[in-house]
A and B are shown apart, each in its own frame.
Chain A
Amino acid sequence: MADRITDTRTTRQPASDALAGARAARDSAAKRTRVFLLAPAILTIGIVGLMPLSIALVYSFLEPGTYGGVTWAFSTDAYVQFLFDRDIFDDSLTFSTSYLSIFWRSAFLAIITTIGALLIGFPTAYFIATKPPAQRNLWLFLVTLPFWTNLLIRTYAMLLIIRDEGFINITLQMIGLTSGPIEMLYTDGAVFLGLIYSFLPFMVLPLYASLEKLDFRLVEAAHDLYAGRVQVLRRVILPMARPGMIAGCILVFIPCLGAYITPELLGGGKKLMIGNMIALQFGGSRNWPFGSAAALILMAMVLIVLLIVNRSRADAEVSHG
């Protein structure tokens, strides 16, 4: 820490030749601190996270074993299978969109869930961040408390609310707004609702973390300069919430891509999701190489998006600084 502090200070001082040697020493000290700080996370993930990843990479280039597992023979079939369908009827290789359409369905659902969670999560996080400091943690706790109960149980409870004879339909009919039940359960809408529910805290908490430090003197200053509420929100608050927004979107979007318990229970399980399709390869379909390949393709896509986000964020940081 201290190294970093001194580091920044040095850059503010005019560099002189006499100082150059000392600065190099400090730089290497800064590097040591950095290595020390990064080591636990990188080592843990490097050993326990990346080793399995390498195993998956190896699997994806092998042939499926009988009854699951792999046979040690090199093959790129797993990747071919993703885009091309060896037709079950005449064995010809044709371009196939089955898997792509499953990917697209999951991606689309993840995108709208992220947007939905952002629209609900932002006002909530802002509301909490503007509470008196003593109350904030309590509010935060209130938002995360529901997540102490298991996902499956929460989803079952949600089923009870939105089913044909559920609370919403009964209430609507009682006050005479509708005559028959509105079919909500086992629709895409139900899946969307369930996913937003599951991932809401992943949006609210990072947003809160970055909104909480918002300096309201800036808001005041903006107001003094005759900025309206909307302008204050757009020009002052939103830019400052950006890091939290990006973190929140990553935490909602990526896990949402692989989600399948919620879509199955609330959507009725008639359509495959990526997560589900991949899981099937390690289960009943007994095609571990294909499962691994599909997962790696998914990861590559996510990684590309993430790197773009990181690059643009880095640029933003520079322009801010």
Chain B
Amino acid sequence: MADATETRKTPRAKAFDLRRQPGFAAAAWACIIFLYAPIVVLIVFSFNDNRSVVRWTEFSLRWYTEAFANEGIQKATWMSLKVAFVATALATTFATMAALATTRVARFRGQGIVFAIINQPLMIPEIVTAVATLSFFSLIKQATGWQGVGFLMLAHTVFCIPFAFLPIRARLQDMTITLEQAAADLYATPWAAFRRVTLPLMAPGILAGATLAFVVSLDDVIITLMIAGPGETTLPIYILGQIRRGITPEINAVSTLLLGLSLLLVSLTFLLGRKRSRA
């Protein structure tokens, strides 16, 4: 309980205590356990010797060796990550800009419509978007001769925007602009005021939005299935193809590796960040 010790040190000890709501910590821990229980099972089964993902026999690294030898599964994993990164970056940027334009200003005409347009990709069942986008992209492909993974990235960007937009907008709402005013009063250029004041204030919202966009892109099945061209199979599509013929723990092995990789990356950035802040 790091915060407890910290509490004693700060003069605002009373306030810190007040932050606690009874039962909230317990609920949060229950939530974490709930989220991780299937993940633990998944990791355990990646070391299962059996071909089945539902019956345990004995410990083995077999599925890791197979995953390393399986070019198809590796290509699909990289394709998933590539599409998710590009879509997340674009969607988060666009969503941040749009959130800035729609919050903390007087209501402008057409705000409702703007809101509806940005949320449109959320509102229509994926399969319909998928089929209709397929028709639309096919027309473009015919007219221009363009091919490539850009179409898939674009489609992902579109449905990621609302997922990034809503948390960022929620963050910005009710946020006062006194600090920006102060910055402007101190002759900060608009860009400097934005970079030094607004952006840090928005950061938690942007992080939340980007995370959601990334997760949504990484999990998408139906739109990807329809839009993807040759060589653009993502991991979910690869897994979908296995359902009828039986899913093997190879997928668990890849999932475990992905979890490990993300854990490693985040720990690194966390440690680096701590070092920098200490220095």
Measured CB to CB, the residues of A under 8 A from B are: 1-9, 30-31, 33-34, 36-38, 40-42, 44-46, 48-53, 55-56, 59, 120-121, 123-124, 126-128, 130-132, 134-138, 140-154, 156-161, 167, 197, 200-202, 204-206, 208-210, 212-213, 216-217, 219-220, 223, 229, 232-233, 237, 240, 243-244, 246-248, 250-251, 254-255, 257-258, 261, 274-275, 278-279, 282, 288, 291-292, 295-296, 298-299, 302-303, 306-307, 310-311, 314, 317, 320
Q: When A and B form their complex, which 7 residue pairs have the shortest distance between CB atoms, in order from nearest?
A: A2-B190, A52-B132, A127-B28, A157-B38, A123-B27, A37-B101, A205-B208
Q: A229-B22, A279-B127, A311-B112 are in contact. List 16 more A-B contacts (CB 8 A).
A: A40-B94, A42-B114, A42-B117, A44-B154, A45-B118, A120-B27, A138-B266, A141-B266, A142-B32, A150-B251, A158-B37, A220-B18, A244-B167, A302-B122, A303-B123, A307-B116
For A197, give its contact among B38, B112, B119, B136 (CB under 8 Å).
B38
B251 to chain A, nearest CB (A): 6
A261–B127 alpha-carbon span in the complex (Å): 12
A58 to chain B, nearest CB (A): 9
> Can you identify 7 A-B contacts, CB atoms within 8 angstroms?
A1-B198, A34-B101, A38-B98, A126-B28, A146-B38, A154-B39, A257-B125
- Verify A156–B247 contact, CB threshold 8 A: yes
B81 to chain A, nearest CB (A): 10
Binary flags per residue of B22-44, CB closer than 8 Å to A gives 1, else 0: 11110110111011111101100
Q: Which residues of A contact B66 (CB under 8 A)?
A: none
- Verify B170–A9 contact, CB threshold 8 A: no
Q: Which residues of B contact A151 (CB under 8 A)?
A: 219, 221, 236
Measured CB to CB, the residues of B under 8 A from A are: 2-3, 6, 12, 14-15, 18-25, 27-28, 30-32, 34-39, 41-42, 45, 53-54, 90, 93-95, 97-98, 100-102, 104-108, 111-112, 114-129, 131-133, 135-136, 154-155, 157-158, 161-163, 165-171, 173-175, 177, 180-181, 184, 189-190, 193-194, 198, 201, 204-205, 207-209, 211-212, 215, 218-219, 221-222, 235-236, 239-240, 243, 247, 251-252, 255, 258-259, 262-263, 266, 270, 274, 277
For B120, give its contact among A6, A45, A149, A314 (CB under 8 Å).
A45
Closest chain A residue to B81, Cβ basis: A148
- Verify A197–B127 contact, CB threshold 8 A: no
A236–B39 alpha-carbon span in the complex (Å): 36
By secondary structure, the A interface counts as helix
- Verify B18–A219 contact, CB threshold 8 A: yes
- Verify A295–B114 contact, CB threshold 8 A: no
For A210, give its contact among B107, B173, B180, B255 (CB under 8 Å).
B173
A124 to chain B, nearest CB (A): 4
- Verify B208–A4 contact, CB threshold 8 A: no
Q: Which residues of B contact A314 (CB under 8 A)?
A: 107, 111
- Verify B263–A150 contact, CB threshold 8 A: no
- Verify A251–B123 contact, CB threshold 8 A: no
- Verify B119–A250 contact, CB threshold 8 A: yes
Specify which of B118, B173, B263 lies most central, judged by the most chain A CB atoms within 10 Å of its CB.
Answer: B173
For B18, give its contact among A142, A160, A212, A223 (CB under 8 Å).
A223
Closest chain B residue to A144, Cβ basis: B211
- Verify A243–B180 contact, CB threshold 8 A: no
- Verify B98–A42 contact, CB threshold 8 A: yes
A56–B222 alpha-carbon span in the complex (Å): 16
A2–B131 alpha-carbon span in the complex (Å): 43
B100 to chain A, nearest CB (A): 5
Closest chain A residue to B159, Cβ basis: A49
Closest chain B residue to A147, Cβ basis: B215
A292–B131 alpha-carbon span in the complex (Å): 10
Q: Which residues of B contact A153 (CB under 8 A)?
A: 42, 239, 247, 251-252, 255
A246–B119 alpha-carbon span in the complex (Å): 13
Specify which of A131, A157, A240, A261 lies most central, judged by the most chain B CB atoms within 10 Å of its CB.
Answer: A157
A65 to chain B, nearest CB (A): 13
Q: Which residues of A contact B174 (CB under 8 A)?
A: 210, 213, 240, 243, 317, 320
Q: Which residues of A contact B128 (CB under 8 A)?
A: 52, 56, 278, 282, 291-292, 295
- Verify B207–A41 contact, CB threshold 8 A: no
Specify which of A44, A296, A303 lies most central, judged by the most chain B CB atoms within 10 Å of its CB.
Answer: A44
Closest chain B residue to A239, Cβ basis: B174
Q: Which residues of A contact B115 (CB under 8 A)?
A: 306, 310
A257–B122 alpha-carbon span in the complex (Å): 10
A208–B240 alpha-carbon span in the complex (Å): 33
Q: Which residues of B contact A261 (CB under 8 A)?
A: 221
B259 to chain A, nearest CB (A): 6
A152–B221 alpha-carbon span in the complex (Å): 10
Q: Which residues of A contact B25 (CB under 8 A)?
A: 123, 127
B72 to chain A, nearest CB (A): 15
Q: Which residues of B contact A302 (CB under 8 A)?
A: 122-123
Q: Which residues of B contact A44 (CB under 8 A)?
A: 90, 94, 154, 157-158, 161
For B163, give its contact among A6, A251, A299 (CB under 8 Å).
A251
Closest chain B residue to A280, Cβ basis: B127
Known: A42-B118, A160-B41, A206-B208. A299 touches B123 (CB 8 A): yes
Known: A146-B38, A154-B38, A243-B174. A201 touches B236 (CB 8 A): no
For A4, give its contact among B3, B6, B104, B135 (CB under 8 Å).
B104
A46–B161 alpha-carbon span in the complex (Å): 12
